[in-house]
Amino acid sequence: MSGATIVVRANFDRKVASRGDANDPQPGRWNPGPVAHALALAHHIDRKIRSGELSNYAHAAEVLGVTRARVSQITGLLLLAPEIQEAILNLPLVTKGRDPISERDLRAIAMEVDWERQMNRWR
């Protein structure tokens, strides 16, 4: 050992200055909960596949850094009735706590093929 000293400065504060405080959303700024975020991502993936930017779900998984199974779970939300999707995207802002419904619950509703039956389960 030469006895040299290396000084490293690191900031381990997880707060990102440009994003503001996640627990204090800015007025007029959409702060989606996890379920709304997953649904928006599902639409994004679908749009990219339809446009040819992504070749398939496997390619989407590779680009997003998630498993193919996770992409299938997320895009399965697209099987929800349009009224349910709209309601999810219009859920109140999430500042603390959790969404009023879980993604797992929504996946169970999406397994129902008939949209009227989905709506009954949603209610």
| Helices 82-89, 34-51: crossing angle, 10 deg rounding | 120
Q: How many domains does the chain have?
A: 1
Does the predicted model carry a pTM greater than 0.75? no
- Please check whether residue 35 is in contact with residue 99, taking contact to mean a CB–CB distance below 8 angstroms: yes
Once rounded to an integer, what is the mean pLDDT over residues 26-46?
79
Cα–Cα distance measured from residue 114 to residue 123, given in angstroms and rounded to the nearest whole number: 15
What range does the domain containing 66 cover? Answer: 31-92+101-122
Quick check: is 59 in a domain?
yes
Quick check: is 67 in a domain?
yes
- Please check whether residue 105 is in contact with residue 38, taking contact to mean a CB–CB distance below 8 angstroms: no
The pLDDT value given to residue 90: 84
The pLDDT value given to residue 9: 56
- Please check whether residue 36 is in contact with residue 100, taking contact to mean a CB–CB distance below 8 angstroms: no
Quick check: is 82 in a domain?
yes
Quick check: is 2 in a domain?
no
The pLDDT value given to residue 7: 53
